[in-house]
């Protein structure tokens, strides 16, 4: 099993809908989690970090972590065409400075 897995997509949602991006992980990367957004031709940009079970909200973004089920998700409310990008999930273990990145999920928000 890969350490961090994401569906490559694309995930297509209409403008204004909730986009739900999911990521599963192995025990090896089970402490802290990060969501990055990468526009085509650009470098990744940190959106959210989450360290404990439950939800963390920041504007239109909500990160959800469920350590029992080993998944982390990112919800984007009121999706906009400008949210169209690849979303990378990353996880790190407690003793490592090096996060493991998933391959990313492509999100398309159509008007």
Partner 1 sequence: GAGVSQSPSNKVTEKGKDVELRCDPISGHTALYWYRQRLGQGLEFLIYFQGNSAPDKSGLPSDRFSAERTGESVSTLTIQRTQQEDSAVYLCASSISSTSRGGEQFFGPGTRLTVL
Interface residues toward partner 1, by CB under 8 A = 31-34, 42-46, 49, 51, 88, 90-92, 94-104
> Which residue's CB is nearer to partner 1, number 83 or number 102?
102
Q: How far is the CB of 110 from partner 1 (least distance, A)?
A: 21
Q: How far is the CB of 73 from partner 1 (least distance, A)?
A: 17
**Spatial separation of the C-alpha atoms in residues 93 and 100, rounded to whole Å:** 9
**Residue 80 or 96 having the CB closest to partner 1:** 96
In the bound state with partner 1, the residue whose beta carbon lies nearer, of 74 and 79, is: 74
Q: Which residue has the tokens 């992980």?
A: 25
Measure the CA–CA gap between 92 and 57, rounded to whole angstroms: 20
Of 79 and 104, which has the nearer Cβ to partner 1?
104
Count of CB atoms situated within 10 Å of the CB of 48: 18
Q: Is 22 exposed, middle or buried (0-12, 13-18, 19+ CB in 10 A)?
A: middle
């Amino acid at each position: 099993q890969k350490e961090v897995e994401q569906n490559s997509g694309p995930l297509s949602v209409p403008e204004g809908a909730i986009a739900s991006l999911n990521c599963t992980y192995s025990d090896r990367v089970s402490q802290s989690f990060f969501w990055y957004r990468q526009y085509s031709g650009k470098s990744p940009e940190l959106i959210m970090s989450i360290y404990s079970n439950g939800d963390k909200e920041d504007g239109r973004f909500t990160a959800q972590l469920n350590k029992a089920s080993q998944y982390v998700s990112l919800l984007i409310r009121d999706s906009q065409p400008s949210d169209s990008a690849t979303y990378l999930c990353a996880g790190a273990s407690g003793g490592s400075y090096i996060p493991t990145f998933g391959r990313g999920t492509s999100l398309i928000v159509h008007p």
